[in-house]
Amino acid sequence: MRRIMFLVFVVALALGVPERASAQSCAAVATAINFGSVSPISGAAVATTGSVSVTCTWPAVTLVPNAQVCLNLGGTSPRSMTNGTNQLQYDLYQDAGHSLAWGSIYSGTTPISLTLVKPLVGTSTTQAVTIYGQVSANQPTVPTIGNASTVYTQGFGGTQTSINAGFYLLGAPTCASLTASGGTFVFSTSATVVNNCNISATNLNFGAAGLLSSALKATASITAQCTSGDAYRIALNGGTTANVAARQMARTGGGGAVNYQLYVDAGLTTTWGDGTAGTTQATGTGAGNSQILTVYGVVPAQTTPAPGVYTDTITATISF
């Protein structure tokens, strides 16, 4: 009877081992992911990184020293950071090449998978996983608000994230088989959309004339591309004379000048300058895409100087 009782006791002890597996657990802590300053009109993708730190803990004695950990992140892909109803698209990836998006078994996508092993000394171990974020390229119309740098954000947690873990001795379980959540982790993503402008211009050519007995007219264009919602103004300097109210083209090689003027409007009523001497600057509000402004030039009737080529160089400056 003693031998039989002993055998019954041993079997009961072995059957009790899985129940003690509940002493194992894993938890995750994620850092915020900040993309810094983003200029939508640059058309370039913006990348950054963050991390998730996973800690698994075992009892001092365990028959399952290995942990298969799966980090699930729900939601659609690509993702969007928002400010009000405005959106900035981006995504989070498992690799530096931004080819494998971070997903979730609950949405049929791929979670982050890692294996932790109980240390020989101690009962817990921690492993960090790098998260790779990238704001999508070619989003020129993402706006700023109030003509100022604007923060876009997205928060994660609750039903959007979960850490699922399976403890084992041999043969790791798959993430697909680990459907019970062991907890959640919270973090956020953010980016600051900034005001920015690009500017370019074409030359203004009055052509050839024998006598300046009547006015000559010509146009050029200035192309401005500014962040959507960004107010800007464009100034034209005085060129060779440094006088926005009395511009002149100088004869190549010297010995003569031709008076001319530049205007904001086709009616030639508003002189385009830098805001001094009765001139004005052209103004607008960015739309993200290129905007073309016309420069109207006039050579008024005047005494014709010596024959030659007459030129001036004007600098256009955009302020925003």
Determine contact, residues 35/189, Cβ cutoff 8 Å. yes
Task: Indicate if the pLDDT at residue 1 is higher than 70.
Answer: no
Task: Indicate if the pLDDT at residue 311 is higher than 70.
Answer: yes
Assigned fold of 23-193 = Immunoglobulin-like (2.60.40)
Task: Indicate if the pLDDT at residue 301 is higher than 70.
Answer: yes
The predicted-structure confidence for 275-288, as pLDDT tens digits, reads as follows: 999 999 999 999 99
Count CA atoms within 13 Å of residue 83 on its CB side.
15
Task: Indicate if the pLDDT at residue 17 is higher than 90.
Answer: no
Cα 155 to Cα 32: distance, rounded to the nearest angstrom: 9
pLDDT the model gives residue 16 = 32
Pairing type for strands 33-38 and 187-193 reads: parallel
pLDDT the model gives residue 9 = 30
Specify which residues 311 forms β-bridges with: 250
Task: Indicate if the pLDDT at residue 43 is higher than 80.
Answer: yes
Q: What is the largest CA-CA distance in the chain?
A: 133
23-193 and 197-319: identical CATH topology? yes
Task: Indicate if the pLDDT at residue 107 is higher than 80.
Answer: yes
CATH no. for 197-319 = 2.60.40.1090
Task: Indicate if the pLDDT at residue 5 is higher than 80.
Answer: no
pLDDT the model gives residue 14 = 31
Between the CA of residue 133 and those of 43, 88, 102, what are the distances in Å? 17, 13, 10
Q: How confident is the model at residue 11 (pLDDT cuts 50, 70, 90)?
A: very low
pLDDT the model gives residue 23 = 87
How would you list the strands of the sheet with 257-263, edge to edge?
Answer: 197-201, 216-226, 290-299, 257-263, 247-251, 310-311
pLDDT the model gives residue 133 = 98
Task: Indicate if the pLDDT at residue 13 is higher than 80.
Answer: no
The predicted-structure confidence for 133-148, as pLDDT tens digits, reads as follows: 999 999 999 999 999 9
Segments making up each domain of the chain, as ranges: 23-193, 197-319
pLDDT the model gives residue 3 = 33
- How many Cβ atoms from other residues are within 10 Å of residue 56's Cβ? 27
Task: Indicate if the pLDDT at residue 306 is higher than 90.
Answer: yes
46 or 4: whose pLDDT is higher? 46
Specify which residues 67 forms β-bridges with: 116, 167
The predicted-structure confidence for 196-210, as pLDDT tens digits, reads as follows: 999 999 999 999 999
Task: Indicate if the pLDDT at residue 114 is higher than 90.
Answer: yes
Cα 259 to Cα 245: distance, rounded to the nearest angstrom: 11
Who contacts 139 (Cβ-Cβ below 8 Å, separation ≥6)? 40, 88, 89
> In three state form, how does the secondary structure of the chain look?
CHHHHHHHHHHHHHHCCHHHHHHCEEEEEECCEEEEEECHHHCCCEEEEEEEEEEEECCCCCCCCEEEEEEEECCCCCEEEEECCEEEEEEEECCCCCCCECCCHHHCCCCEEEEEECCCCCCEEEEEEEEEEEECCCCCCCECECCECEEEEEEECHHHEEEEEEEECCCCCCHHHCCCCCCCCCEEEEEEECCCEEEEECCCCCCCCCCCCCCEEEEEEEEEEECECCEEEEEECCHHHCCCCCEEEEECCCCCEEEEEEECCCCCCCEECCCCCCCECEEEECCCCEEEEEEEEEECCCCCCCCCCEECCCCEEEEC
pLDDT mean across residues, the chain: 93
| pTM for this entry | 0.87
**Can you read off the two tokens belonging to residue 129?**
């996983």
Q: How confident is the model at residue 22 (pLDDT cuts 50, 70, 90)?
A: low
Determine contact, residues 286/228, Cβ cutoff 8 Å. yes
